[in-house]
Each structure stands twice: as C-alpha cells, then as structure tokens.
Amino acid sequence: MLFRTVYGSELEAIYTAISIRYQGGLVSRASVIDLFVPTINGALTPTQNVEDALSFLISAQVIRETPNGFHPVQSPLPFRLFLLNQLRRLALGQLEPHHPQDPLYLMLYDSLFVTPDVTFVADLHSAANQISRVQQLGGLGREKVQAWKRIMAYLGLGYRAFDGFLAVVNPRLAQDILDHWGQDSATLDQFFERHWARFLPFRARTGDAAQAIQQPLLYLMQRNKLSLTALQDSPSRAYFLPQRMRAIRREHTHV
C-alpha cells in the first residue's frame, strides 16, 4: 500500500541498494533489513520503517517481490522521475494496483490542486476526504495524509504548511522533466500531452496549465533554460493565458 509512513529519502536508498545487489541475484528481505536497520548490543532495532518503505516501493511497482526476494524494475529515468511515472500510471489505470487506494496517491494532487487550479489547501485532511472516490474507498486518516504530504514534498511537488499543503512544482523537478524530453522544441500541447503528462497532471478545468505547473516553467524561462513563444498562426492550443503561448523550446543548460 502506498499510504505508508515513509519520508522519501529512504525509498531511493533502498531502491538503489536493491538495484546494486540484484547484479548478484534476488535480494532477500533479510539482507535489506540487515543493511538498513542498526543493531544495538547485537539485537535489531524495530524494522517497521524499512517494512513500510518496502511496501511502498512494491505498491509503486518500482521493485517486485518474489518468494525468494526482491528485484528492481529497470528504468533509464532517475529515481524520482521513475517513481512519479509509476504513480502517474497507477492514477491513469495503466498499472494494476496492489491496493484499491493506490491510484488515489497522485490523483489527490490532480483533484485538490491541478484541476481546480489551487496552489494552497489549508486543511488537506478534510479536503481529501471530501473527494467522492476517497469516500468510496473508506477515507484517509490524518497519518496517511501527513505521509502523503511528506512524499509530495520529497518529490518536489510542493511544501508542507501546518495542516495544509502549498502545491508548486520545484523548478529543479521541472528542469529534470525538461532534461528527459526527447525533443528540443514542440508545441506546448505536444509537450504537455506527450511528455509532461507522463509524470504529472497539468491541465486545470479552465483548459490552461495550472499555476502549480506554470510558475516553475516561467521561472526556467526567466533563467534562459527554455523559451515560450506565441506562434500567432498556429492552430495548436494556447497556454499561459492571457499571453497565449503555443510553443516551447528547450535550451541545453542546467539550473
């Protein structure tokens, strides 16, 4: 199940360790615990944190478990983009979930922030439990919502703010997505639909890109990492209203 008490950095560390050790065969649960759980006077300390992280990684389908141990799902993407891609595929129904609530993980970001084009929700627990799909699946407790906020912040999708969450994509995450685009230029519609949407929802109910998405891209434009142009005669969809931008070009520089 994805709604576990995890923090982010341990997910990447465990995934990396399994990926390295898999070269020699399947990685046993005992070896993962032995690697990440310290001993005191010869006795293991509690293993729940590692168990929760393994459960999350299995549910996110970035590792797979067999009766004899774990193996990583291979991807050319860096871990955070790979994790986002898998969470997105779960939300879109492209992967079979291990738990009925797993598709909610990235769907919450879409339903609470992207579609309504809202960047801040003060009481995230209450807002999440007002979503009909969440209610149908039994609701989400405060601990699960708190854990969700930590992972969203770790991935670069926003910032925790008391009981709420501020949703603005970190420019470094936006740059990573841009860096793993296989093109140098395209219409914005093509960029959003064929590339950005692999990792994150982007479209507000107005039809424009949500502010949580626009702001980091405008920041990268100010830093000369990309350019946005209007293409007045293009029939493609316009974004960044009222400027009505229709095209994007990537510059080969780094943040």
* Across 42-71, average pLDDT: 89
pLDDT at residue 255 above 50?
no
Closest CA to 111 of 162, 147, 165: 165
**Residue 230 scores a pLDDT above 70:** yes
Question: How many Cβ atoms sit within 10 Å of the Cβ of residue 51?
Answer: 15
Q: What's the predicted TM-score (pTM) here?
A: 0.93
* More confidently predicted of 47 and 228: 228
Mean per-residue pLDDT for 169-174?
97
Sheet hosting strand 247-250, strand order edge to edge = 185-187, 247-250, 226-229
* CA–CA dist 67, 116 (Å, integer): 44
For every residue of the chain, DSSP letters joined together read ---SS--SHHHHHHHHHHHHHGGGSPBPHHHHHHHHS-EETTEEPP-HHHHHHHHHHHHTTSEEEETTEEEEPP-SS-HHHHHHHHHHHHHTTSS--SSTTTTHHHHHHIIIIITTT-SEES-HHHHHTTSHHHHHTT---HHHHHHHHHHHHHHTS-EEETTEEE----HHHHHHHHHT-S-SEEEHHHHHHHTGGGT---B-TTSSBPHHHHHHHHHHHHTTSEEEE--TT--SPPBSTTT-B-EEEE-S---
pLDDT value at residue 24: 74
Q: How far apart are CA 111 and CA 48, in angstroms?
A: 31
245's CB contacts (< 8 A; 6+ apart) are 188, 228, 229, 230, 238, 239
Of the pLDDT bands very low, low, confident and very high (cuts 50, 70, 90), residue 251 is confident
Identify whether the C-beta of residue 171 lies closer than 8 Å to the C-beta of residue 255: yes
| Mean pLDDT taken over the chain | 93
Predicted confidence (pLDDT) per residue in 96-118, tens digit = 999 999 999 999 999 999 999 99
- pLDDT, residue 43, reads 61
User: What region, left, alpha or beta, does residue 152 occupy, with left being phi > 0 and alpha being psi -120 to 50 degrees?
Assistant: alpha
**Domain residue ranges of the chain, discontinuous segments joined by +:** 9-72, 79-166, 182-250
Q: What percent of the chain has pLDDT over 70?
A: 96
| 8 Å CB contact between 128 and 89 | no
Q: What is the pLDDT of residues 116-169, one digit of tens each?
A: 999 999 999 999 999 999 999 999 999 999 999 999 999 999 999 989 999 999
